Amino acid sequence: MAERVALITGGAKGIGRGIALDLAAQHWSVAICYRTSETEATATAEAITKLGGRALSIRCDVSDPQAAKDLVAQVEQKWGRIDALINGAGPYHRVNLFDETAAGWNEMFDGNLHPIFYLAQAVAPGMKSRKSGRIINFSMANADQMIAQPDVTAHYIAKAGILILTRTLAKLLAPHGVTINAISPGFIDSGSAPPDELAAMTKRIPAGYIGTVDDTVAAVRYLLSDEARYVNGANIQISGGWGI
């Protein structure tokens, strides 16, 4: 394929930025979507260009179904296709279930689960017509365990839902040459968690150390490669053994 195009939600910083820069080094055209991190998005777009890729930085609230649809249309109009959709946006807050508000509850589903549905619907026609495409969704390392989560309940349910949605999309799109897989990070030093919190978790990780953005990027690189053409509906845990 002479030119490859990726759309990354949450691509301005952290793991999303790491993926964007890795793709840029492979000369992908990379569109990053952000909601509030304009400064970081601008810096990431500049870094993509310096690495040899083409960059597009778009402010978009993908929890809005029409905005998500328009985002896909904008990238396709600009570059003619989307070969990889990487759903990296995943806001969360920590609050006890009985202190949660209705707005806070809905926010976790609107920010984590619903955009994957909206965006998959929007990119599927183009991928089906080309008989190729990759979608990667981000869950969390212990989401498949169905354990109690008193302080991140809605977020956890949304992440478990992502795994079901991933498998469903895989079954629907596999006949068209499209793969859909999930990546479930554990504790990753991506800048989103305080260093002291990460350090406190180290003793609970069988591997004995915190993961890096590069660990996650490597899994994405594999799932986007031709070597992973028969991997569909999988969930890859990047956790050092935590959460299994």
Q: Is 156 a catalytic residue?
A: yes
Distance from CA of residue 76 to its chain's centroid? Answer: 19
Q: Select which of 156, 209, 222, 230 is catalytic.
A: 156
Chain centroid to CA 75: 17
Q: Are strands 133-138 and 5-9 parallel, antiparallel or unpaired?
A: unpaired
The values of phi and psi at residue 162, to 5°, are -60, -35
Beta-strand (E) ranges in the chain?
5-9, 29-34, 54-59, 84-87, 133-138, 178-185, 188-189, 211-212, 235-238
3-state secondary structure of 58: strand
H helices present in 89-212, as ranges:
102-112, 114-130, 153-173, 195-201
Greatest pairwise CA separation for the chain in angstroms? 53
Report how far residue 61's alpha carbon sits from residue 55's, in angstroms, rounded to the nearest whole number: 19
CA distance linking residue 168 with residue 14, whole number of Å: 28
**11 and 41 in contact (C-beta within 8 Å)?**
yes
Separation in Å, CA 200 to CA 29, 149, 187, 194, 205: 39, 19, 11, 10, 10
Q: Active-site positions?
A: 156
